[in-house]
Amino acid sequence: MADNKSPIGIFDSGVGGLTVASAVKQLLPLESIVYFGDTAHLPYGDKSPEAILYYSKRITDFLLGHDCKVILAACNTVSATIWDELCRYTVSNAIPVNVIDPVVSSISQQYPGSSFGIIGTKNTISSGAYPEKIQRLIPGAKVSSMATPLLAPMIEEGFVDDDVSNAIIRTYLSDDRLKGTETLILGCTHYPIIRNQIIKYFDYKVNVVDSAMIVASHLRGILESKKLISNSPGNEDRFFVSDYTDYFGQIAEKFFKKQIVLKRVDLWR
């Protein structure tokens, strides 16, 4: 049975979830993290809900096998498309946390009169999860959504802060659907990696919402309320991937500021 010494399980299709994992570590430095990046199947944004649920269940089983007290889906696509099914699957073995609900709750308090834009994967945008949840908390809110499917693969390939990424970002953000946006929600955990480029495109005049610290703060609140905060220093973080990539290791070490040992695990054999 998981207790306060048990680790926090975090997963994503790739490096994007590391933005959330890093924020969790900043706010909860005594917690140990078990991270799984499903790099063999990225991106999830163009997969069927059935495939996403299948991958997510296997990963959840893996994290529960490490006695994780939390299953944090650091993936907007998972959070938008199959979240209810995944919550039922975890039953009472761990606390399920997604990356959409904390963000919607936060912006409804911080920017209640804003005009919102959302960018994310095809599945996240087509699900309508963000507009539905925002308008439930802010009736009549203006919300515009746009799929930006090239951004996550671009980031996974290491195209960041260069001419290629700037051109793709400019092409997407200049779309008329985002005209008049006052608050832009980065509806993919990969996107905080290019947040500065997005902010610069808008000439620092748009609120660009990064979910990582919001989700980490939400998680801390849950653990505090359940008295599950770790008070044991020196816990080890573990990183697993379904397919090794050099870039994943580089990004992990950049976020965690230490040498990261990646272990490849095939959960689908």
Active site residues: 75, 188
Q: If 0-12 CB within 10 Å is exposed, 13-18 middle and 19+ buried, where does residue 166 land? A: middle
Number of C-alpha atoms within 13 angstroms, CB side, residue 9?
25
- Identify the helix (H) or strand (E) that includes residue 208: strand 207-209
- Identify the helix (H) or strand (E) that includes residue 72: strand 70-73
What SS3 class is residue 259? coil
Beta-sheet strand order (sheet of 8-12): 95-97, 70-73, 8-12, 33-37, 238-241, 262-264
